[in-house]
């Protein structure tokens, strides 16, 4: 593997980040320093932590960054729940995003299991 960009968990997270950024542009201006800021930070944190963890040479450090990425995925999902509750998002679109994020979580959890198994050898 040549880099973190080839990781499937990174690719899924990047798509989520891009979608979150596009969605935030549709939100009302009064959400700029509330929901928009939180959602952008959380979604960016996912890809940043996957990339930074990949650059660590110690497996335990790598795992810690992957766990941070997982937490940020859950945080991003919660911000979408807020958007739904505030009627900024349709139920149908929310379900699509929920599925996308939960798929990314499954893939990231698989990668975490893989890295963890390498530390036990």
Task: Find the length of the chain.
Answer: 121
What CA–CA distance (Å, rounded) separates 119 from 44? 27
Contacts of residue 5, defined as CB under 8 A and 6 or more positions apart, other chains included, come to 11
pLDDT, one tens digit per residue, over 22-42 is: 999 999 999 988 999 999 999
Residue whose tokens read 């040479």:
57
* Below-50 pLDDT ranges, the chain: none
| pLDDT given at position 95 | 98
Domains and CATH numbers, the chain: 4-119 (1.20.1440.60)
**Within its chain, how far is the Cα of 3 from the centroid?**
18
- List the structure tokens of 48: 């940043």
Instruction: Look up residue 101 and give its two tokens.
Output: 């994020």
| Exposure b/e, 43-77, CB count within 10 A at least 16 = b | bbbbbbbbbbbbeeeebeebbebbebbbebbebbb
Residue 13, token pair as written in the block:
């997270």
The pLDDT of residue 119 is 80
């Amino acid at each position: 593997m040549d880099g973190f960009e080839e990781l499937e968990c990174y690719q899924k997270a990047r798509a989520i980040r891009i979608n979150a950024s596009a969605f935030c542009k549709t939100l009302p201006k009064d959400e700029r320093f509330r929901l928009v800021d939180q959602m952008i930070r959380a979604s960016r944190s996912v890809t940043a932590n996957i990339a930074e963890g990949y650059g660590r040479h110690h497996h335990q450090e790598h795992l810690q960054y992957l766990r941070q990425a997982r937490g940020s995925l859950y945080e991003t999902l919660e911000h979408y729940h807020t958007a739904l509750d505030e009627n900024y998002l349709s139920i149908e679109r929310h379900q699509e995003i929920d599925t996308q994020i939960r798929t990314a979580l499954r893939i990231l959890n698989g990668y975490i299991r893989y890295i963890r198994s390498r530390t036990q050898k």
